[in-house]
């Protein structure tokens, strides 16, 4: 198996607005740690995979589509061979449009596009023969932030590594499900938050100091134990996630099955489209009953009124889409599968796919775009931010109940196809 790895610095200048928290004073005032775009190019002689992981909150679907077109023309890759995932840090520039939570920065996005082209070409042009290894560990750091009856966490930490004959590593991918919000809304420093710290620690511990893509999992309902922590505490937590796999990788036996297989499909998931009267009724109700997000004050009100206005315009224009396209992007390497999803998907998703397939499956959230929260059926009955008010900030209709379960069924079929 041949592998190429590269990274480029994508840190913006201080003064940019940080994305993810409405309850934050803008703009940024400095850099706590650098942001990177990290790329792995993997080929087994038959299949090819270009995987870029960015230290950002997420990317627009259109950005991913346009980059894939470039990769097709420049690198000869199919769209189904290119995945771009994001760690979902809430301390990076605004690369997606979330109302009142950091102003979208088109100039930065143009800069980012050029940097991703650069890192992709560097990875493809500098490959080396490696043997793949895979390990799984456990970390109980994440908590179910909803504190409801359906509470569920995912303690598994997965890691792929690509090791040279001399024992050094050229690259690695880790996966752990937890929102990258440890620094909290009080933080005004640019940072890759916990995934960035985890990647740095794993790289320091492995021979060869490889490029490490620390991917996020199905963490729509999962948070760190608390927020607004110090940089020192961030290193402690990053070390805990790293501990789960960094000691296992150097001595891991090479995979006897080095099969690289890819599969993807776009699944339309139903949206909870409302009438004009229903939109007004919901907006009026939540203006007066903001719940836990009421502390955001005027920002909450502005986001809700913008949602009301644009959704009414959408319905009256007759251009209202009944579904949203969700992409499942599955990567099989030997016995394990990473499944990319372009949403803030709840952790139950991974469990459903694992149980139905009997395979070692790990979800990569915020992959190939981000469309908002995809909760479980149970969550709709329980209520809470993710099902009641988050779509105001994403400025869209929410998904209908059952969307997660339907997408999981489709992912099960996709995973099974990789082992057919």
Q: Mind giving me the DSSP string for 262-316?
A: EEEEEEEEEB----HHHHHHHHHHHHH--GGGGGGTHHHHHHHHHHHHHHHHHHH
Is 0.85 topped by the overall pTM?
A: yes
Residue ranges with strand state E in 73-204 = 82-86, 127-129, 131-138, 143-144, 156-163, 169-176, 189-190
Residue 292 scores a pLDDT above 70: no
Residue 186: CB atoms within 10 A of its CB come to 12
* pLDDT tens sequence across 215-265: 999 999 999 999 999 999 999 999 999 999 999 999 999 999 888 999 999
Residue 290 scores a pLDDT above 60: no
> Which tokens belong to 376?
């479980």
In this prediction, residues 362-368 reach a mean pLDDT of 98
Compute the mean pLDDT over every residue in the chain, rounded to the nearest whole number.
Answer: 96
Burial 130-163 (b: 16+ CB within 10 A, else e): bbbbbbebebebbbbbbeeebebbbebbbbbbbb
The rounded Cα 273 to chain-centroid distance in angstroms is 26
């Amino acid at each position: 198996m041949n592998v190429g790895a590269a990274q480029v610095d994508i840190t913006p200048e201080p003064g940019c607005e940080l994305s993810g928290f409405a309850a934050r004073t803008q703009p940024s005032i400095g850099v706590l740690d650098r942001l990177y775009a990290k790329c792995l190019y993997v080929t087994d002689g038959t299949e090819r995979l270009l995987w870029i992981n960015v230290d950002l909150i997420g990317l627009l679907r259109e950005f991913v589509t346009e980059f894939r077109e470039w990769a097709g023309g420049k690198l000869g890759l199919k769209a189904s061979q290119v995945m771009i995932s994001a760690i979902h840090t809430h301390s990076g520039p605004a690369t997606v449009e979330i109302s009142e939570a950091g102003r979208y920065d088109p100039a930065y996005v143009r800069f980012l596009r050029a940097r991703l082209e650069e890192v992709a070409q560097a990875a493809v042009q500098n490959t080396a023969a490696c043997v793949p290894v895979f390990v799984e560990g456990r970390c109980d750091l994440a908590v179910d932030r909803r504190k409801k009856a359906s509470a569920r966490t995912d303690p598994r930490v997965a890691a792929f590594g690509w090791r040279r004959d001399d024992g050094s590593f050229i690259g690695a991918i880790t996966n752990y499900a937890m929102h990258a919000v440890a620094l909290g809304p009080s933080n005004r420093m640019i940072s890759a938050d916990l995934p960035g710290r985890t990647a740095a620690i794993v790289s320091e511990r492995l021979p060869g100091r490889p490029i490490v893509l620390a991917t996020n999992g199905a963490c729509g309902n999962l948070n760190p134990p608390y927020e607004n922590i110090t940089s020192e505490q961030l290193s402690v937590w990053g070390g805990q996630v790293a501990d789960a796999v960094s000691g296992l990788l150097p001595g891991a036996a090479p995979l006897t099955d080095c099969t690289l297989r890819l599969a993807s499909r776009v699944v339309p998931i139903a949206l909870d489209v409302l009438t004009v009267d229903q939109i007004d009724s919901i907006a009026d109700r939540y203006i007066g009953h903001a719940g836990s997000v009421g502390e955001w004050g005027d920002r909450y009100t502005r986001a809700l009124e913008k949602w009301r206005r644009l959704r009414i315009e959408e319905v009256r224009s007759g251009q209202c889409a009944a579904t949203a396209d969700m992409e499942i992007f599955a990567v099989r390497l030997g016995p394990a599968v990473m499944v990319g999803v372009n949403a803030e998907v709840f952790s139950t998703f991974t469990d459903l796919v694992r149980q139905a397939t009997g395979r070692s499956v790990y979800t990569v959230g915020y992959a190939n775009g981000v469309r908002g929260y995809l909760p479980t059926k149970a969550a709709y009955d329980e209520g809470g931010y993710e099902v009641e008010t988050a779509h105001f900030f994403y400025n869209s209709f929410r998904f209908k109940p059952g969307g997660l379960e339907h997408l999981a069924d489709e992912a099960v079929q996709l995973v099974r196809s990789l082992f057919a």
